[in-house]
Structure 1
Amino acid sequence: MLCCVNPDCQKPLNPHKNNYCQSCRAELIPLLGGRYRPTQVLSDEGGFGRTYLAEDVHKLNECCVVKQFAPKLQGTGPLTKAVELFKQEARRLQELAEHPQIPTLLAYFEQNSYLFLVQQFIDGQNLLKEWGTRGSYSEAEIRELLLDLLPVLKFIHVRGVIHRDIKPQNIIHRQSDGRLVLIDFGASKLLTATVQTKMGTVIGSHGYTALEQMQDGKAYPASDLFSLGATCFHLLTGVRPSQLWIQQGYSWVASWRQYLISPGKDGVSVSIELGEVLDNLLQLDIQKRYQSADEVITDLTRRLSPLSAVPPTLLTPTFTATPANKGPVSPKPNNNLKSQLLLGTSILVLGLGGVWYFQTRPHTMREFSQPIPQPISQPIQPQKNLSENYFLPKPLKGHSSDVNSVAFSPDGKTLASGSDDKTIKLWNLASGQEIHTLEGNSDWIWTVAFSPDSKTLASGSADKTIKLWNLETGKLIRTLEGHSDGVSSVAFSPDGKTLASGAASKDMKIKLWNLKTGKLIRTLEGHTNGVSSVVFSPDGKTLASGSWDKTIKLWNLETGKLIRTLQGHSERILSVAFAPDGKTLVSGSKDKTIKLWNLETGKLIHTLKGHNDKVNSVAFLPSATPNGVNLVSGSSDKTIKLWNSVTGKEIHTLETGSGYIYAIAISPDGQTIAGGGSGENILKVWQMIH
């Protein structure tokens, strides 16, 4: 289905084939920003915009969330200023793309006189829905909630951001790891407020919003802490603060304990210690309330014994201190309040974030943009473990959009990268310099692969074509046409005579091409959804294909017949790779797991778990390292993980910073790992140091 993005449309769902909405007759927009297909309304802001579930067609229809802001942008004045603030704040808040409990901002743009934000989709239930199915929280669970969310609030507060609308609906219990994710930074509400200043619009939700924010529209870190306290009250008692606010305003906060059910009546109660913490969170007078998340964490750990169930990283996060004139503070007596007002008319953008790693996180490899010199007085220590043996040099910069595919030439001299910017770049690995930019596709590049002799590059594109390039000259050799949807994967046979290609969901076919003539040899059919990955076995006799239909198929290349189908993943297969000996196959999936398969028996060997988001790419090293690492995986959780496939153990993690990892490749000598994806540095290379 396709959603009409007229915010006043009463029945926005339409069949894909429609050009105009069957309800309101507005012209339908098939792709927002040229890539996001709205498929379902998630929430409605009452004529001022909607939030949609969407598919990112640049990323094989990956789910994302699109937030629309209305009314339509016309003329000058306050609305024009709101647009300026929107763009300014979106850029500034991209700096928050370091924290794993804040959704990542993927894009922001203006289209058809509306503003749009695109963010990462979080798979899980918000706490209001969860409460509806499971009932009230215990004291221990409230303590865990506080210790999970307070570091997130500290993170945004020291960076000058106030959430302004904390409530159960805006906290998602992420399914993959059980962590709490803070969503909806109120961009649509703030835009509405900027447009409707004369109407006295207030940002927040009645009952959860602090008095100073409700009365004066001024928000501080302590304002978010009041909302957090109200959220805890709701989850403890099952009583909505919004209902109490309608009945009695703010008077309920002074007697919130009366809504607890006494022990012995299948209800909940709280200890004196937690009660005092909630008292301090729910103070009407901001001067008497906790002033920072740090104060609450300190008080919690002082008053209450630590909970063994709470991960230790939640208790010891570290932040870089923000200068006093850069970060928000709560008003104090005799302070200049005007200088402390924060974001009174600014636009806070929805769901910004990325990866933020606690210092206590285990199994991490350090990354540096340049070598860190050691003092001359201290001799350089010899390398002792794998985490010290990888160095991240300056990222390779040149692409203007996401990198979807990377590949090393078999001679180890060249790296190729294919991007959403419709170009392929060739890089000299020795110098890090760009050799060629290959242009000719009319849509984004999904896949690239080198021929065994390193003389030819094949690329597959969303424009449904495969192009063969002469690597010495950078010129196009020929274009192969025949797929009816975007080409998502290409692979050369070991003898260099055949090319295999797989296509997306409208095609679902695998094609084998004669590289000398450019003619189609045969078409392999059997998958019931798009083919995401194709790869030849080392002996060239077998082709493996991974599909969105959740299966892997093995094909006899001499006969074109299906050998067997491997089943076990619960979501789409995104990548497959053969081990160097050809006896094992590895697969990465949207279900966040990696599976290893015995190709002789077709049986599952191991399931590797460790990623917190879909596994987009997997690759074997030519041989195992001294630490036993022989398998590498890249994920949308913004990490690359190194594994021992024999034991099934995770050895180390390369932290990639902000941005998803869509593709990885290993150099022929096993000394270099390349990762392509999204974010500021969309192409990175890790080099082994001896």
Structure 2
Amino acid sequence: MEMEMEIETLNNVMCQFTDREGTPLGAALYLPQNAGPQQLQQIVNKLLNNEEKLPYAFYISDQELLVPLETYLQKNKVSVEKVLSIVYQPQAIFRIRPVNRCSATIAGHTEAVLSVAFSPDGRHLASGSGDTTVRLWDLNTQTPMFTCTGHKNWVLCIAWSPDGKILVSGSKAGELQCWDPATGKPSGNALLGHKKWITGISWEPLHLNATCRRFVSASKDGDARIWDISLKKCVICLSGHTLAVTCVKWGGDGIIYTGSQDCTIKMWETSQGKLIRELKGHGHWVNSLALSTEYVLRTGAFDHTGKTYSSSEEMKKVALERYDKMKGNSPERLVSGSDDFTMFLWEPAVSKHPKTRLTGHQQV
């Protein structure tokens, strides 16, 4: 029995835990030599009666203990006949808080907010409302910058130019208005031509045109129109749908896609407005379109680094690099959502037939 006790003691080492100020944590105690930092954490948490187990780092002679006690003792030729002083030090705890609460409420509109859009650099927000105004907000301070007045009816959709220098809004009255985000003032008179309300706006990608002059609008009147903000007029009217155009996207390959209540998606070239291809398959209205490259088309040359550019040509070059990287070797993909409860995935440059049909939704 005495022999067993002696062997057990030989395999243990007498240790004294102390904090950084040298205050001992309880009495010295025997610890097995194969104990490492993880076991020491359990012991310290128990001695401190911590309800929540906290992480600790351990130091012997100002050297952090990262191995079992036995390895440390042998490497540093430390005698086990003396009490080994171990300093424990709490480590920082990093907790990721789930996004389950509102971080800020930005009040100002007096009627329903109908559309919102981030600026390409992510620093500002634009919102359109039933109170007929467009408001610009500083997201860093979460405060209002400008209230843009001039629309005569609800502001249904808004879109920033990919260089961030122009904001365009469309209303229920069918008018489009360009704004200068730096001042909140209108850039010229309203653009008139649509006979019914605006359902969508999309800008020509920056990597295709450094001047950011053109955008396309879709309307309940069944047409889509390409506008030139320098000429301040409609330059091409895209007619062909038999019912309302519900959504529009200007793709990275220079093709405009329009979705309609006539159950089709049409593809248009943008120099003369000729119809290229018609995508059929949905059994009900086409309600929405999304492109696989949409993020880089919207943000242009801007990324998370906050880099600024000295010229529009420099921005165009960077935007093209970002687009090519996003697209890779694959064709640009399009997803359409419909009142028939389904989505179709298309590769429009490759085929007029959908690549796959996505089902599962039970309601619109």
Find out whether 1:589 has 2:338 as its counterpart.
Answer: yes
Q: 1:399 to 1:592 in 2, by over 3 A?
A: farther
Task: Show the counterpart of 1:511.
Answer: 225
Q: 1:525 to 1:472 in 2, by over 3 A?
A: same
Per the TM alignment, residue 605 of structure 1 is displaced from its structure 2 partner at its CA by 2.6
Q: 1:392 to 1:602 in 2, by over 3 A?
A: farther
Task: Show the counterpart of 2:43.
Answer: none
Per the TM alignment, residue 468 of structure 1 is displaced from its structure 2 partner at its CA by 0.3
Equivalent runs, 1:301-320 vs 2, <5 Å: none
Question: Larger % of helix: which?
Answer: 1
Q: 1:377 to 1:572 in 2, by over 3 A?
A: same
Task: Show the counterpart of 1:602.
Answer: 352
Task: Show the counterpart of 1:422.
Answer: 132
- Structure 2 CA distance, aligned partners of 1:457 and 1:447? 11
Equivalent runs, 1:226-625 vs 2, <5 Å: 388=98, 392-478=102-188, 479-494=190-205, 495=209, 496-504=212-220, 507-539=221-253, 541-580=254-293, 581=327, 583-599=332-348, 600-614=350-364
Task: Show the counterpart of 2:296.
Answer: none
Task: Show the counterpart of 1:658.
Answer: none
Which amino acid is 1:481 matched to?
A: L
Q: Secondary structure at the match of 2:355?
A: strand
Cα distance per residue 1:245-299 (max 9 Å; x no partner)? xxxxxxxxxxxxxxxxxxxxxxxxxxxxxxxxxxxxxxxxxxxxxxxxxxxxxxx
Per the TM alignment, residue 415 of structure 1 is displaced from its structure 2 partner at its CA by 1.5
Which amino acid is 2:341 matched to?
A: K
Cα distance per residue 1:622-656 (max 9 Å; x no partner)? xxxxxxxxxxxxxxxxxxxxxxxxxxxxxxxxxxx
Q: 1:608 to 1:421 in 2, by over 3 A?
A: farther
- Structure 2 CA distance, aligned partners of 1:378 and 1:435? 47
Q: Secondary structure at the match of 1:484?
A: coil
Per the TM alignment, residue 465 of structure 1 is displaced from its structure 2 partner at its CA by 0.5
Q: 1:611 to 1:472 in 2, by over 3 A?
A: farther
- Structure 2 CA distance, aligned partners of 1:406 and 1:427? 11
- Structure 1 CA distance, aligned partners of 2:116 and 2:264? 24
Cα distance per residue 1:321-379 (max 9 Å; x no partner)? xxxxxxxxxxxxxxxxxxxxxxxxxxxxxxxxxxxxxxxxxxxxxxxxxxxxxx99576
Which amino acid is 2:192 matched to?
A: E
Q: Secondary structure at the match of 1:480?
A: coil
- Structure 2 CA distance, aligned partners of 1:512 and 1:415? 24
Q: 1:565 to 1:403 in 2, by over 3 A?
A: farther
Q: Secondary structure at the match of 2:334?
A: strand
Give 1 or 2 for the bigger CA radius of gyration.
2
Which amino acid is 1:510 matched to?
A: A
Task: Show the counterpart of 1:671.
Answer: none
Which amino acid is 2:109 matched to?
A: H
- Structure 2 CA distance, aligned partners of 1:378 and 1:513? 63
- Structure 1 CA distance, aligned partners of 2:213 and 2:270? 13
Q: 1:406 to 1:595 in 2, by over 3 A?
A: farther
**TM-align CA RMSD:** 2.5
Equivalent runs, 1:203-242 vs 2, <5 Å: none
Per the TM alignment, residue 398 of structure 1 is displaced from its structure 2 partner at its CA by 2.7
Cα distance per residue 1:572-615 (max 9 Å; x no partner)? 2222122113610112223333322111212323333454543x
Per the TM alignment, residue 469 of structure 1 is displaced from its structure 2 partner at its CA by 0.4
Per the TM alignment, residue 464 of structure 1 is displaced from its structure 2 partner at its CA by 1.3
Q: 1:598 to 1:391 in 2, by over 3 A?
A: farther
Which amino acid is 1:514 matched to?
A: D
Q: 1:549 to 1:395 in 2, by over 3 A?
A: farther
| Residue ranges of structure 1 left out of the alignment (5+ in a row) | 1-374, 615-690
Cα distance per residue 1:653-673 (max 9 Å; x no partner)? xxxxxxxxxxxxxxxxxxxxx
Which amino acid is 2:117 matched to?
A: A
Per the TM alignment, residue 397 of structure 1 is displaced from its structure 2 partner at its CA by 3.0
Per the TM alignment, residue 388 of structure 1 is displaced from its structure 2 partner at its CA by 4.5
| Residue ranges of structure 2 left out of the alignment (5+ in a row) | 1-49, 55-92, 294-326
Q: Secondary structure at the match of 1:485?
A: coil
- Structure 2 CA distance, aligned partners of 1:395 and 1:570? 40
Per the TM alignment, residue 549 of structure 1 is displaced from its structure 2 partner at its CA by 1.4
Give TM-score scaled by structure 2 length.
0.59
Cα distance per residue 1:439-482 (max 9 Å; x no partner)? 21111111100012111100111111000001100001121011
Equivalent runs, 1:648-667 vs 2, <5 Å: none
Cα distance per residue 1:93-122 (max 9 Å; x no partner)? xxxxxxxxxxxxxxxxxxxxxxxxxxxxxx
Per the TM alignment, residue 409 of structure 1 is displaced from its structure 2 partner at its CA by 1.1
- Structure 1 CA distance, aligned partners of 2:362 and 2:103? 26
Q: 1:412 to 1:442 in 2, by over 3 A?
A: same
Cα distance per residue 1:502-529 (max 9 Å; x no partner)? 111xx21111111111122111111011
Which amino acid is 1:498 matched to?
A: R
